[in-house]
Amino acid sequence: MSVAQTQTGTPQVQQERRRRGLSDRAIISLFIWPTLILLIAWNVFPLFYSLFLSFTDYSAISRQAPTWVGVQNYIDILSSDRLWGYFSTTGRYTVVAVGFETILGFTLAMLIKEKFRGSGLITTLILIPMMLSPVVVGLFWKLMYNPTFGYFNYLLGFTDPTRAPDMLAGRFANQPVPDLALWSVVLVDIWMWTPFLMLLSLSGLKAIPEYLYEAAVIDRASSWFQFWRITLPQVMPLLLIGVLFRTIDALKSFDLVMGMTSGGPGDQTELIAVNLYRQAFLGQFRTGDASALAYIILIIIISVSNLLIRAINQGNTEG
């Protein structure tokens, strides 16, 4: 889409461009290469080294050199029902968390987009959950959720610990509730990351030129129409970039869950990245298997991101 846009412009401008053609090229290099060089230098070795390790039987703590096992690691992973279960848990986690974060974030942004007294302060306050380290957030919500001395149950009106939900243990009045633990972690993820999408939506909303609405009012467009035809499409590109980054991070989210449940109870909150951490660092230090699993996660993330990027590009050409 940028191709078409760059070539438009008045003939005068194009003439100007030609005269400066060389310096434009120099500027492109000057602007892009520092970024690319850093990214290449920091990523190529880790990427290829872990790709190599994924085809080997290797443990980071053993003194033995990696031994080549071909695609065995991949076969083991893809034929393991347990791991497919973790993938599905991760999928549900991501869809629910990112979905709610997007809707809530956008709604919040709509609510505070008009400048009013203290809007800067309110914005800062809303952003606070995001500013905390996930490790700290995990710890604190563990304290909040504590069935005896936590505030969560207390505020919900459960004063008797024996009859109250024990969120992270996945039990309500001592009866196990399936997935309760997973959704309690998702709730924290939503609490923490809704501000991220709120701020992006807010920046997008702020950038919508007033005259679009003025024109709509002259045309007597309903506010519903204005929302669907002006607000949403204008915010969409930025909102989708936010969703893209949240999805990538949610698919590999790990420190929050690790801090709160370490995957438990049983394997209710065992996200794929949590399992990856276990394989890579706990017990056997199964570096080879972990690398293979990481590559499978990478492939999944690449496919999901591609779908989202397609949506972003579509939004750009329409907009």
Partner 1 sequence: MLIPIFVMMMTAFKTRAEVVSVPPKVFFEPSLEGFVFLLTERAVVPPNRIEEFERAAAEGNLTMFEQVAFDSGQEITGPSDYIRRLMNSVIIAGLSTLISVVLGFFAAYAFSRFTIPGENDILFFILSTRMLPAVVVTIPLFLMYRQLGLHDTHIGMILLYTVFNLSFSVWLLKGFIDEIPREYEEAALVDGYTRMQTVFKIVLPQAMTGIAATTVFCLIFAWNEYAFALMLTSNTARTAPPSIATMLGRGGIEWSAIAAGSLGFLIPVVIVVFLLRDYLVRGVTFGAVRK
Of 157-196, binders to partner 1 (CB under 8 A) are 159, 161, 191, 196
DSSP summary character for residue 230: I
CB of 176 to partner 1, least distance (A): 23
DSSP bridge pairs for 57: 67
Considering only residues 224 through 283, tell me which ones interact with partner 1, judged by CB under 8 A.
237-238, 241, 244-245, 248, 252, 254-255, 259, 273, 276-277, 280-281
Sign of the C-alpha dihedral, residues 243, 248, 250, 256? Answer: negative
| By CB under 8 A, residue 129 contacts partner 1 | yes
Residue from the set 110, 130, 177, 311 that interacts with partner 1 by CB under 8 A: 130
Which range in 63-71, 80-88, 91-99, 133-141 contacts partner 1 by CB under 8 A? 133-141
Considering only residues 32 through 61, tell me which ones interact with partner 1, judged by CB under 8 A.
32, 34-36, 38-39, 42-43, 45-47, 49-50, 53, 60
CB of 144 to partner 1, least distance (A): 6
- Enumerate the H helices of 165-286 as residue ranges: 180-206, 210-218, 223-226, 232-251, 255-260, 272-281
DSSP summary character for residue 132: S
Q: Which is nearer to partner 1, 91 or 176 (CB)?
A: 91
CB of 231 to partner 1, least distance (A): 14
Q: Which is nearer to partner 1, 181 or 271 (CB)?
A: 271
CB of 263 to partner 1, least distance (A): 14
Q: Which is nearer to partner 1, 82 or 310 (CB)?
A: 310
Q: Scanning the structure block, which residue is given the tokens 């109250």?
A: 164
φ and ψ at residue 134, rounded to 5 degrees: -55, -35
| By CB under 8 A, residue 291 contacts partner 1 | yes
| By CB under 8 A, residue 31 contacts partner 1 | yes
Q: Which is nearer to partner 1, 181 or 197 (CB)?
A: 197
Considering only residues 62 through 121, tell me which ones interact with partner 1, judged by CB under 8 A.
112, 115, 119-121
- Distance from C-alpha of 31 to C-alpha of 208, rounded to nearest angstrom: 28
Q: Which is nearer to partner 1, 149 or 224 (CB)?
A: 149
The pair of structure tokens assigned to 180 is: 């309760």
Where is 67: in which H helix or E strand? Answer: strand 67-68
Give all strands (DSSP E) within 122-192, no chain letters: 165-166, 171-172, 175-176
Residue from the set 18, 20, 163, 229 that interacts with partner 1 by CB under 8 A: 20
- Distance from C-alpha of 199 to C-alpha of 213, rounded to nearest angstrom: 22
| By CB under 8 A, residue 288 contacts partner 1 | no
Nearest-CA neighbor of 147 among 129, 135, 121, 165?
165
Q: Name the 3-class secondary structure at 68.
A: strand
Given a contact cutoff of 8 angstroms between Cβ atoms, the answer to whether 55 and 68 are in contact is yes
Which range in 94-102, 126-134, 171-179, 262-270 contacts partner 1 by CB under 8 A? 126-134
Residue from the set 199, 243, 257, 260 that interacts with partner 1 by CB under 8 A: 199
Given a contact cutoff of 8 angstroms between Cβ atoms, the answer to whether 217 and 230 are in contact is no
Please give the size of the binding site for partner 1, defined by CB under 8 A: 102
Q: Which is nearer to partner 1, 176 or 278 (CB)?
A: 278
The pair of structure tokens assigned to 151 is: 């505030």
Given a contact cutoff of 8 angstroms between Cβ atoms, the answer to whether 186 and 97 are in contact is yes
Which range in 70-78, 92-100, 149-157, 223-231 contacts partner 1 by CB under 8 A? 149-157
